[in-house]
Chains A and B, each alone.
Chain A
Amino acid sequence: MKSLEGAGYRAEFDPEAGCVRLRGSLRLGGLTEYAPISQLLEDALDGRDALTLDLSGLEFLNSSGIATLSKFVIAVRNRKTCTLAVRGSTSIPWQGKSLNNLKRLMPTLELDFD
């Protein structure tokens, strides 16, 4: 299991489950500060034909974080070799508002809310 931790958040990649989980509150300053998370996401894609992005514990995400996830979704879409499922939570209001935009970027993305 690869993981990253910072003030108020945790990011982990579980290779066996084929799942990247983001938890807590992510409000890093700009795409540069998100680079380690982008790298974790990119590494998770390597040689994989299916990946799940579990956001059901992600309470807060700022617009730089939205930009980071969108960039990743566009990279997966353009690669055309891996399916992507995103898991969200109905009890976290921003997810109901903003996660649908990821599906607009990649219509084959599977979006599930628990």
Chain B
Amino acid sequence: MREDFGLIREIEHGHGTESLVLSFWPGRVSLKQRWRNNGLSADFLGDYVTTFFPLEDDAPSARDRQSEIRGAVSYVANELLENAMKFHDNSIAEPITIRLSLEDTHIVFHESNGIGTAAADAFRAFIVRLRAADPGELYLQQLEHNALTDSGAGLGFLTMINDYDADLAWRFEPLADGGARVTTQVSIKL
């Protein structure tokens, strides 16, 4: 059965909606080669978005805004792709997909990948913890914990929430051949 954590915004296909989708089949090349691609894809998405926020004049505020949006999109996309590459289960016939949609007031990312049952359970447990906690406190706790254990788990999501004021939601959909498709949605206010 499908399970949502938070409100997943259905993708609008109406007039005026701009979106861009990138899809990968990660088993085809090594993770190391793929990793380099994450940065290229993330920077591409950041640059792509700035074309919708043109510099109509040379005002420093317009330049700052463009640069902020480029930086935020690039950071979020890179984290989503890194997570997807790390946790995607190659035995599941699902691509890794990242969709960037531009709405009137938000930029919305939908990243989906295949995940094994055990990894899905661990991820669900993390999401429940994240949603119940104060994100600022959990972020600092996680940094202190990481200093002792060398585990940086979940920091990408926590930085999106704390530093980029992002809203996160997730959808788990069981797949017929086992495992699940997990979709992470990140929404940033414009």
Chain A: residues with CB nearer than 8 A to chain B?
7-8, 25, 27, 29-31, 60, 62-64, 66-67, 70-71, 74-75, 91-94, 97-98, 101, 104-105
Interface residue ranges of B53-85 to A (CB < 8 Å):
67-68, 70-72, 74-75, 78-79, 82
Bound together, the chains give a CA A109 to CA B98 distance in angstroms of 38
Chain B: residues with CB nearer than 8 A to chain A?
31-32, 35-36, 38-39, 67-68, 70-72, 74-75, 78-79, 82, 139-140, 143-144, 146-147, 150-152, 155-156, 159, 162-164
Contact, CB under 8 Å: B79 / A70: no
Bound together, the chains give a CA A9 to CA B92 distance in angstroms of 35
Contact, CB under 8 Å: B78 / A27: yes
Residues of A within 8 A of B36 (CB): 7
Contact, CB under 8 Å: A66 / B155: yes
Bound together, the chains give a CA A75 to CA B144 distance in angstroms of 10
Contact, CB under 8 Å: B143 / A105: yes
Knowing A63-B79, A63-B155, A98-B159 touch, does A31 contact B143 (C-beta < 8 A)?
Answer: no
Contact, CB under 8 Å: B152 / A63: yes
Bound together, the chains give a CA A71 to CA B36 distance in angstroms of 24
Query: A-B contact count, CB below 8 Å?
Result: 74
Name the distance in Å between B98's Cβ and chain A's nearest Cβ: 16
Residues of B within 8 A of A98 (CB): 159, 163
Bound together, the chains give a CA A101 to CA B142 distance in angstroms of 12
Residues of B within 8 A of A31 (CB): 146, 150-152
Contact, CB under 8 Å: A60 / B152: no
Bound together, the chains give a CA A12 to CA B32 distance in angstroms of 24
Q: Is the interface of A mostly helix, strand, loop or mixed?
A: helix
Which 6 residue pairs are nearest across A and B when measured between Cβ atoms? A93-B71, A67-B152, A63-B156, A97-B163, A74-B147, A63-B155
Residues of B within 8 A of A70 (CB): 143, 146-147
Interchain CB contact (< 8 A) of A105 among B67, B71, B140, B151? B140
Bound together, the chains give a CA A91 to CA B139 distance in angstroms of 25
Contact, CB under 8 Å: B163 / A101: yes
Contact, CB under 8 Å: A93 / B68: yes
Name the distance in Å between B172's Cβ and chain A's nearest Cβ: 22
Known A30-B152, A60-B75, A63-B156; 17 more pairs at CB < 8 Å: A8-B39, A27-B35, A60-B39, A62-B75, A62-B79, A63-B152, A63-B155, A64-B155, A67-B143, A67-B146, A67-B155, A71-B143, A71-B146, A93-B71, A97-B163, A98-B159, A105-B140
Name the distance in Å between B88's Cβ and chain A's nearest Cβ: 14
